[in-house]
Amino acid sequence: MEELDEEMIQFEKDHPSKKSSGGAGGGGPMRIAAIVLGVIAVALLAALLTMMSKKNALVKDLNIDKQNLTNELIALQGDYESLSTTNAAINDSLAVEKEKVGQLIERLQKTEATNRAKIRQYEQELGTLRSIMKGYIRQIDSLNTLNISLRNEASEARREAQESKRQYENLRTTTDQLSAKASAGAVVKGRGFNLVAINESNKVTDRSSRARKLRACLSLIENSIAERGWRTVYIRVKGPDDILMTDDSGKVFTCDGQQMIYSASREVDYQGEEVEICLYFAASQGFEKGKYTVDIYTDETKLGTAEMILK
């Protein structure tokens, strides 16, 4: 009111003619009051408009902050979705945290942007959820690093196993070859194969009419690695008709997995040194003219062959 009085006094000083005018003596103060009230109304309206503008700007900023917070929560939800591991316990915990983010988004959407206390609370929960996610990222990275290390170790172990298997196969092949060579080297062999016919006086003859027996002779040669002991030598005699000659007893032996009928046999005590041996075969029907062949065997192998011709 003091300001209003001062303004009225100043107005009278500035307009003295109007104060002394006889026709408007009662209307001057009323006009001044109207003008002052108008000025006040304009000032109040300006202040009100300024306040409304500021409030609208503030609400707009708060809505932007709320939307930014919503976007950050949605991004965090996507980050949780992207996390995965083969560890079941961690996957279960991640599912719980993802559910918390989803619930926080729902609560934020239902909250007015002007509720600063709630918005600040949600911002703090966002920070907590981010920290938790970072912890899971470290765990998953550690597990992935461990898994990579284990896979590398497993791959190296497989490679070493394959290399060991290859070496074993090579060694076994070499061993089998050496064993085969040793087995072959241990087989007693023969030489000096000879087939003749003898008469009643045990004299050699080439006449079929005088022949009483066939004599097959050979030598078992020296072999230091061959097994010592008794060995059986077999002969298979074939006549001019290429038919096996036997005494009809059907005597059979086995050599190299194959069973064969033999004409005659003899045992010899072999002690690793060279030994000579002769086998005899007598034909009940006598001997015809022609070529005779004898194949000589042991239980281990065929020793050799000899031929002769009777006239």
Q: Which two three-digit tokens encode residue 264?
A: 């005659």
pLDDT digits (tens, 9 = 90+) for 23-61: 444 567 888 888 888 888 877 877 777 777 666 665 677
Total Cβ atoms within 10 A of residue 38:
10
φ, ψ at 284 (rounded to 5°)? -65, -25
pLDDT, position 53: 67
Confidence of residue 179 (pLDDT cuts 50, 70, 90): low
- Helix 88-109 × helix 116-186 angle, to 10°: 160
pLDDT, position 14: 55
Taking the CA of residue 270 as centre, how many other CA atoms within 13 Å lie in the half-sphere pointing to its CB?
Answer: 28
Say what the pTM is: 0.46
Query: DSSP labels for 49-68?
Result: HHHHHHHHHHHHHHHHHHHH
Confidence of residue 175 (pLDDT cuts 50, 70, 90): low
CA-to-CA separations, 140 to 128, 158, 223, in angstroms, rounded: 19, 26, 72
Report for 14-18, 24-28, 241-245: range of highest mean pLDDT:
241-245
pLDDT, position 168: 75
Query: Higher confidence at residue 74 or residue 198?
Result: 198
Q: How far apart are CA 125 and CA 136, in angstroms?
A: 17
Q: How far apart are CA 133 and CA 97, in angstroms?
A: 8
Q: How confident is the model over 83-105, as a mean pLDDT? A: 78
φ, ψ at 172 (rounded to 5°)? -65, -40
Return the CATH number of 190-310, one of 3.40.190.10, 3.40.50.11540, 2.160.20.10, 2.60.40.10. 2.60.40.10
What residue ranges do the domains of the chain occupy?
2-116, 190-310
Contact 109, 70 (CB under 8 A): yes
* Cβ neighbours of residue 120 closer than 8 Å, sequence gap 6 or more: none
pLDDT, position 174: 65
pLDDT, position 24: 44
Q: Mean pLDDT, the chain, as a whole number?
A: 80
Angle formed at CA 292 by CA 286 and CA 297, multiple of 5 degrees: 110
